[in-house]
Chains A and B, each alone.
Chain A
Amino acid sequence: AQKITQTQPGMFVQEKEAVTLDCTYDTSDPSYGLFWYKQPSSGEMIFLIYQGSYDQQNATEGRYSLNFQKARKSANLVISASQLGDSAMYFCAMREGLNSGNTPLVFGKGTRLSVIA
Chain B
Amino acid sequence: GAVVSQHPSRVICKSGTSVKIECRSLDFQATTMFWYRQFPKQSLMLMATSNEGSKATYEQGVEKDKFLINHASLTLSTLTVTSAHPEDSSFYICSARATTGRSSNQPQHFGDGTRLSIL
A interface with B by C-beta (< 8 Å): 31, 33, 35, 37, 42-45, 47, 50, 52, 91, 95, 98-99, 101-102, 104-110
Given A43-B91, A43-B113, A44-B112; A52-B44 close (CB under 8 Å): no
Contact A43 B112 (CB under 8 A): yes
B interface with A by C-beta (< 8 Å): 31-32, 34, 42-44, 46, 49, 51, 91, 93, 95, 99, 103-105, 107-110, 112-113, 115
Contact A43 B43 (CB under 8 A): no
Given A102-B31, A105-B34, A109-B43; A45-B93 close (CB under 8 Å): yes
**B44 contacts across to A, CB distance below 8 A:** 45, 91, 107
A75 to B107, CA, bound (A): 16
From DSSP, what is the main secondary structure of chain A's interface residues? loop
The residue from B51, B107, B112 contacting A102, defined by CB atoms under 8 A apart: B51
**A42 contacts across to B, CB distance below 8 A:** 112
Chain B min CB distance to A9 (Å): 9
A104 to B95, CA, bound (A): 9
Number of A-B contacts (CB under 8 A): 59
**A47 contacts across to B, CB distance below 8 A:** 107-109
Given A99-B104, A101-B103; A106-B46 close (CB under 8 Å): yes
9 pairs, CB–CB < 8 Å, chain A vs chain B: A35-B107, A35-B108, A44-B112, A45-B95, A45-B110, A95-B108, A104-B95, A105-B34, A110-B43
Contact B32 A102 (CB under 8 A): yes
**A50 contacts across to B, CB distance below 8 A:** 105, 107
**B91 contacts across to A, CB distance below 8 A:** 43
B108 (CB) vs chain A CBs: closest residue = A105
**B51 contacts across to A, CB distance below 8 A:** 102
Contact A101 B107 (CB under 8 A): no
